[in-house]
Amino acid sequence: MAKTSVAIVGATGETGHFIVDALLESDAFEITAIARPSSETNQKYTNLRSRGVKVIAVELAGPEDALVGALANIDVVISTVSVASFKDQIPLAKAAKKAGVKRFVPSEFAMVIPPKGVHDLQDMKTDVLNEIKRLHLPWTVINVGWWYAGFLPRLASGRTDYIRPAALFPEQNFVPGDGEAVCSMIDSRDVGRYVARIIQDPRTLNKQVLASNFAPKLNELYGLMEEISGEKIGKTYLSANDVESQIQQSREKIAAGQTDYMTQVGLMMSQYQYSAGIRHDNTPEYAEYLGYLLTTDLYPDSKQITYREFFQEALDGKARAAYSE
């Protein structure tokens, strides 16, 4: 059986490297990493080559012919670019269409959020998807819920401090809403394993997919963490007004020219809290309402790393912090 040729943009990034790892576990794929010319020679791409990944250097916003050539004979394009490069997915999609790519997976891999008006990043993602649809380019959107590594409490013992980067975690443990929101979640290592199945499945073509089989209430999750750690976890509940105020304060800072990384991340995280904790968007039920397919239905045999396993690794000092490489 012929292998599926997959080109990954952002193969060395936080999401991309997990997808590469999973695809390499199978003999069903031929993998190409699309790299910027300025990054082609760095050690991460050298490591990919040593593992059998082909690396092609090309600028996404460069001459279209070069990008079309890089995507020649590619079946699936997977984009895992960061927010700074979201708009570069549009020339990538145009080149993919011209190259005859059979499936385009845009950079999503986050929580279930309505298309417009709730989260600035989702607004941008929706614009990209609309352009893909305008091109008549076959597509699949994959969202995964809240990453385990992004939901870690601060413990009195300090045992989780090493994987709670200040850019992602405040000093206190904040719970948006009353803690009764159901929240779809995933271990980042499972993202690629789901992707490997989804991109070979004809049922997922031109569909949105929620890849997660764990959706606890936030209060239940805190209870689980207290059980595993043996520590009482202090937490502060945030009302809708509290979170809305945080969002407004961040917007005012940005409007005044304060566009540093921490301010931008603060806005992004507050909007995620509002969507998941206040609006209850990040649920399997809401995903189905939006037209998503669920991996719990598509792949009932799939096994996912449990939060219990992840949190125990964190307590044992063996977990990896998000965005640590």
User: Residue ranges of the alpha helices (H) in the chain?
Assistant: 16-24, 43-50, 64-70, 89-99, 120-134, 188-198, 218-229, 240-255, 261-273, 284-289, 295-298, 307-315
Bridge partners of residue 54, in order along the sequence: 32
Is 94 a residue of the active site? no
Q: Measured between alpha carbons, how far is residue 237 from residues 113, 266, 277 in Å?
A: 21, 17, 10
Backbone angles phi, psi at 203, to 5 degrees: -70, -20
**Residue 29: strand pairing partners:** 4
CA distances from 190 to 25, 179, 194, 247, 310 (A): 12, 25, 6, 31, 12
Which of 3, 87, 97, 125 is catalytic? The answer is 125
Euclidean distance between CA atoms 44 and 277, whole angstroms: 37
Q: Which residues are catalytic?
A: 125
